[in-house]
Structure 1
Amino acid sequence: MAPEAAPEASRSELSAQEARRAANRRKVREHRQRLRAQGMRPIQIWVPDVHAPEFVAEARRQSLLVAQSPEEAEIQAFIDSVYEWPDDEYGQ
């Protein structure tokens, strides 16, 4: 007995998918054109992946070093004295 073939999308389904993709590309292109007309330009930045186990481990290591530092209380007092919490609906 021959194995069953995997179901394939019909031509109309593929055409509908292609039409949606084309519409999405058009919307993105138009959105970018509007932003450029406002004097904006696109940029790409790379940032650390805060979900990566290595990042989490290093952040924890550094936090523990600061917390165990003899100067921790003095450092925290300085930070508290210069940091101003913004007034918002969650402020105290």
Structure 2
Amino acid sequence: MSGAMRVQKHRAQLRAAGLRPIQIWVPDTRRPGFAEECRRQSLSLRDDPQEREVGEWLEQVADHEGWE
């Protein structure tokens, strides 16, 4: 069986299981300047009271069970 046929069969099985393919676009983390922009945005929120409140809430509701 050719590679293309195996892929086609696999995709058919996934569709039969109720799944569908999608394509998403995400930021390119390898792009020059990406890390610097992340840092800039993080620093801009560092002293934001709303951001602190959301962070504290996330800590309270996070499910850590089973994590090491």
Same fold (TM over 0.5): yes
Aligned to 2:21: 42
Q: Secondary structure at the match of 2:6?
A: helix
**TM-score of the two chains, using structure 2 as the length reference:** 0.70
Give aligned pairs, total. 65
Shift of 1:75: 3.3
Give unmatched runs, 5+ long, in structure 2: none
Which stretches of structure 1, 4 residues or more, deviate above 4 A after TM superposition? none
Shift of 1:42: 1.1
CA–CA distance in structure 1, aligned partners of residues 42 and 64 of structure 2: 27
Shift of 1:25: 1.5
CA–CA distance in structure 2, aligned partners of residues 53 and 86 of structure 1: 34
**Cα–Cα, structure 1 residues 25 and 66, in superposed 2: closer, same or farther, change >3 Å?**
same
Aligned to 1:86: 63
**TM-score of the two chains, using structure 1 as the length reference:** 0.56
Amino-acid identity (%)? 37
Q: Which has the higher contact order (CA 8 A, sep 6+)?
A: 2
